Amino acid sequence: MYDIDPSRIDLAQEFKRKPFGRHSAELQRVLNRMRSEPFEGHYVLLRDNRFGPWKLAQLGRRPQDPMILTGDLFQDRIEAEWAVFKLRWKRLTGQDLALD
């Protein structure tokens, strides 16, 4: 499995600049690794309706287990995606991402 190099802050900066659309091959590898985490504890974004806030949740151990809301709310999807990226980065590298 692909290991994320925590010193590659440039990849995090690339994601922050452009969270949607085409990415460099290296950033795409990072995103593929982040998105292929085991089910339990995987971070996801939820939205109750088209205009509501984005809610951060974590998946349970099995698909039928309830999701656990973290209490974090985001009005902006880009802000929400960045928050998830940072959480996944920390989970996979063991290091906080030193970018805001």
pLDDT in 10s for each residue of the chain, 100 residues: 789 999 999 999 999 999 999 999 999 999 999 999 888 999 999 999 999 999 999 999 998 999 999 999 999 999 999 999 999 999 999 999 988 7
Secondary structure class of 26 (helix, strand, coil): helix
Secondary structure class of 53 (helix, strand, coil): coil
Give the span between the Cα atoms of 1 and 52, in whole angstroms: 36
Residue 37 has a pLDDT of 85
Residue 92 has a pLDDT of 94
Answer whether 14's CB lies under 8 Å from 23's CB: yes
Answer whether 73's CB lies under 8 Å from 45's CB: no
Write b or e for each residue in 52-75: b if 16 or more Cβ atoms lie within 10 A of its Cβ, otherwise e: eebbbbebeeeeeeeeeeeebebe
Residue 99 has a pLDDT of 84
Claim: this prediction has a pTM higher than 0.75: yes
Give the span between the Cα atoms of 52 and 7, in whole angstroms: 36
Residue 38 has a pLDDT of 84
Residue 63 has a pLDDT of 86
